[in-house]
Amino acid sequence: MNKTKKIFVLQVLILIFSIGSIFSKMASQQEFLSIRFALCYLGQLTCLAVYAIGWQQILKIFPLTTAYMNKAMTIVWGLVFGYIFFNDR
């Protein structure tokens, strides 16, 4: 796998981690233990599980410093998702 593909996989994994935050915020807006709350919570847990497994694989490919340096992109994705989905400014 060439370096461009590796970076792309890393960014997709970070995007999945950020999507978990969307599910978290959506769950917080639902009635506790309702079906919608449970589905949002399940979505968040799924994203975190995929991220946890993927992160272990990323650490086999990249040096730790490179992987953590790219993890800061979660802030950018959080700002973008907040603006798109929740009208945050």
Confidence of residue 35 (pLDDT cuts 50, 70, 90): very high
Q: In sequence order, what DSSP letters do the residues of 30-45 get, joined into one string?
A: SPTTSHHHHHHHHHHH
The structure's pTM equals: 0.77
Distance CA 37, CA 88 (A): 21
* Length of the chain counted residue by residue: 89
44 neighbors 16 (Cβ within 8 angstroms): no
Q: How many CB atoms lie within 10 A of CB 35?
A: 9
Question: Chain-centre distance of CA 79, in angstroms?
Answer: 13
pLDDT digits 0-9 by tens, 38-82:
999 999 999 999 999 999 999 998 888 888 888 888 888 888 888
Structure confidence at residue 46 (pLDDT): 95
